[in-house]
Amino acid sequence: MEPLYLRSASTSLVISFDSGEAEVIHWGADLGDSLPDLAILGAPVTHSAVDAAVPAGLLPQASSSWRGRPALRGHRIADGVPGYDFSVRLRVAEVTGGAVGNSAAIVQADADAGIRVSSALTLHDGGLLELRHTVTNTGTSPYQLDELATVLPVAPAAVELLDLTGRWCRERHPQRRPLQQGTWVRTGRHGRTGHDSSLLFAAGTAGFGNRHGKVWATHLAWSGNHEQFADSTADGRTMIGGSELLGPAEVILAPGGSHTTPALFAAYSDRGLDGISESFYAWFRNRPHHVLPAAATQAGLSQAGLSQAGLAGSGKPRPVVLNTWEAVYFDHNLTTLIDLADSAAELGVERFVLDDGWFRGRRDDHAGLGDWYVDETLWPAGLTPLIDAVTSRGMEFGLWVEPEMVNLDSDAVRAHPEWIVGPSVRSYKDGGRLPLEWRHQHVIDLVNPDAWRYIYDRVDALLRGNNISYLKWDQNRDLLEHGHAGRASVHEQTLAAYRLFDALRAAHPGVEIESCSSGGGRVDLGILERTDRIWASDCNDALERQTIQRWTGLVVPPELVGGHVGPTTSHTTARTHDLAFRAITALFGHFGMEWDVRQVQGTEREELKRFIGIYKEHRGLIHSGRMVRADLADDSLMLHGVVAAPNGSADGPANGSAGTPAHVAQGPTAALFALVSTRTSPAEQPGRIAIPGLAADAEYLVEAVFPAPGDADYARTFTQVQPPAWLASGATASGRFLAEVGLPMPALNPEHALLLKVTTA
């Protein structure tokens, strides 16, 4: 059988069938138009080992003498006795898809064990590989599935591993280690993705960075319990991948029954982590349901530019948001909120979101969850007066909800105590044991069809009865001891939540949904298939956000990542930052504010208003271009930004510093960069810093645009007697010069930033 060869965007995947099973021969750099006879890759057989070459299968299995993690774990239950067919011998039964193309399906089966696994592979246009398996029980008795993993091999050159971890208000921080023999496993038992979840597993060559080195990376698109891992065996091979972490007996397949894994998304780059981001961004932006349709985002133009190009209406710019949480918390008062709406509209806000506290019995976080009715004592005329006030001022109205949670102190639980998930068959009213509370709340059992229908009907009624354009959908606790009718049910709860999102989106296609999960606790491509943005963290501290947003943006493009300007002193860390640092940090995302903006007056208000104008002018670029992150020797500094995609392509060129002037995207701005100082530097001055990612032979003008002289915090931004020569009027140079020589940067005070605008000269 001829090998399967998928190619796209400088990436290729080769699968051989010579061993009888599907064996991944290569995943990485493009190998060109033709392949040699793969028999030349026959491996030696060593002493004290199985007397045959062991394939690195698409489904690694012990029946081929694979001694690492097997892909499939499970057993048959015959006449009530478990443990049969514990080791399957899957062999290729069918392959569909061209010998060279972008997608294929491979069926492997073991007729004796009564198991068939179908693998669907797609190598998307931007080079992102999507892989999922479906296992079917073709036997005559039940089969208990314990794990079905999706894995891929990485090249021997991959010697370092990068993953992410964190906690509430400190999500997605990197950690690195050498790849050594053994298995490195990151397990998520939160019932949701988790604040400590690794958004990406990346294996790479020694010292790989933002813009250099070879990297192989995977992401599991699942919002429930999961494992991600790197498995390095004694024979020198390494597999990376992930799987849903199933609870006891969560998936038992009846004869003829099937189970499909979450998708594993995998990207290869020979240009460091920025190349990985390009593959993920291209996939997001090419989706037909992406929040910014491809015709608009690929143009890389401002709203004015879209109109001139005849694309007006094909993509809605991401509106400036004001969320009320850190402005009023639970203190809901119509007069106060209308005053806040007046202040927001005057600043240029385009979406006003009413946060927690609007529904029955909700004066704090001890009560009310589950009772999704507008509180008549607070809102005797309903939400209509506030909604009318907001929309009459030219803003959309959004509303906070948390449909997956309940408080014990709620009418819903008083009427239906059996709707709370837990380890017991009986409800807590009948003596059953409840899980411990988390923020005074429990999880509603969406696996129960009556509970699911109640939540759907209540949210549907809110949307039908009110002019709501946006839901901030929160989920504020882990799903621990999570059970339905006494059995583990995280798997079914996750699928039920997905169905809830899907059904409400189908009924209300014009309503956008944000996924918030006590901040960044549910960030994955499973939830992002059903939502229009994520809340990266409950922390608005700009210093913390620099890291959180940088690593969230490794996978998720900025138009889908909420970034807000919080109060001068952070609600979560008590740090105090100037407006310029907070604003520049929030710019490279879906920009908004979480702040009582009525209190912003004088020169600071003018500065904020001007910055909102900067966001509106450049959001077309920020939400369509290539993300560029420089590799700097001084780790107290960061330089990151977005470069207009050449030739109207959303994912950019293969080499970010190559190209000619003809490749430069047309438009008012070619790039925006932020120079960020996170702490004091050991050096007296930053010296010359290269600006990468621009077309090499094009001429550019680099200007510092924010903060500017006259802004409220301009004088506090720098620690220098004299600025570098170019700062006052800009610098003109080629992209090649800027990438290789760079510019002497001003000396920034710690926890300050400078916004640079790059235009074609």
Do residues 420 and 427 make contact, with C-beta atoms less than 8 angstroms apart? yes
Residue of 504, 514, 550, 551 whose CA lies nearest to 534:
514
Residue 261 and residue 119: Cα distance in Å, rounded?
10
| Cβ atoms within 10 Å, residue 409 | 15
**Count of C-beta atoms within a 10 Å radius of residue 71:** 25
CA dist., res. 444 & res. 435, Å (int): 12
| Phi, psi for 369 (deg, rounded to 5) | -60, 130
- Minimal CA–CA distance to 24: which of 119, 158, 145, 136? 119
Residue of 231, 538, 541, 711 with catalytic role: 538
DSSP state of 718: B
665 is written with which tokens? 């995207």
426 by Cβ neighbours in 10 Å (0-12 / 13-18 / 19+) ranks as middle
The answer to whether residue 342 is catalytic is: no
User: What SS3 state is found at 541?
Assistant: coil
Classify strands 100-101 and 487-488 as parallel, antiparallel or unpaired: unpaired
> Which residue type does 759 have?
T
Task: Please report, as a single letter, which amino acid is at residue 583.
Answer: A
Residues with Cβ < 8 Å from 93, sequence gap 6 or more?
107, 108, 109, 116
Given 196, 356, 474, 578, which residue is catalytic? Answer: 474
Say how many C-beta atoms besides its own lie within 10 A of residue 32's C-beta. 8
Nearest to 31 by CA among 5, 55, 57: 5
- Tokens 């080079």 sit on residue: 127
Is the link from the previous residue into 509 a cis peptide, with omega within 30 of 0? no
Complete DSSP assignment for 16-72: E-TTSS-EEEEEEE---S----GGGGPPP--TTS-SSPPP-BSS--GGGT--S--SE
Active site residue 596: no
CA distances from 252 to 75, 137, 293, 296, 443 (A): 10, 10, 40, 46, 24
Give the number of other CB atoms < 10 A from CB of residue 740.
12
What 3-state DSSP class applies to 687?
coil
Ramachandran bin of 738, using left for φ above 0, alpha for ψ from -120 to 50, beta for the remaining angles? alpha
Cβ atoms within 10 Å, residue 261: 25
Concatenating the DSSP letter of every residue in 689-714 gives E---SS-TTSEEEEEEEES-TTSTTH
DSSP string computed for 368-396: -TT--SB-TTT-TTTTHHHHHHHHHTT-E
With a CB cutoff of 8 Å and minimum separation 6, the contacts of 505 are 511, 513, 530
The 3-state DSSP class for residue 729 equals: coil
Q: 553 and 588 in contact (C-beta within 8 Å)?
A: yes
Residue type, 216: W
Residues with Cβ within 8 Å of 661's Cβ and at least 6 positions away in sequence, in order, are 695, 697, 698, 699, 760
Structure-derived torsion over alpha carbons of residues 210, 211, 214, 216, reported in degrees to the nearest 10: 40
Provide the annotated active-site residues: 474, 538
